[in-house]
Amino acid sequence: MHLPRIETVTELLHVLLMMLEVARTRMREEETHYHRFWQTLYAVVQERGPLGLYRGLAIQLMRQIPSTGIMMATYELVLYVYSAQSSKRS
C-alpha cells in the first residue's frame, strides 16, 4: 500500500481548510455583516466568487512550506542520531 508523503497531506489540508480560515477571519471582524459560518461562506462566494474562499492561500503556503521543511529535516536528523546511537550499543 502506497501512503502519500506527509508534506503532501499537510499542504492539501491547508488548501481545503483555507475556506474555513477565511470565514473565521471575516466573522471576527468588527462591524461586519458576517455572523454565522454557512452564511459567511455563502456571502463570500456571492461577493467574490468561489476563489474568494481561497484569498490569502499563496501567502499561507509560503509561510507553511518552509515550516514543514524544517520540521521534516529535524525529524530526519533526530531519527539519524537515534539510529546511530542504537547501532553503537548493539
Burial class (CB in 10 A: 0-12, 13-18, 19+), 69: exposed
Residues 6+ apart with CB under 8 A from 34: 23, 26, 27, 40, 43
Among candidates 19, 25, 20, 10, which has minimal Cα distance to 66?
Answer: 10
| pTM for this model (two decimals) | 0.54
* 33-54 pLDDT per residue, tens: 888 888 988 998 999 998 888 8
Q: Which residue is it, cell 499561507?
A: 60
**Which residue ranges make up each domain of the chain?**
6-89
Which pLDDT does position 84 carry in this prediction?
A: 82
Above 90 in pLDDT, residue 14? no
Which pLDDT does position 7 carry in this prediction?
A: 66
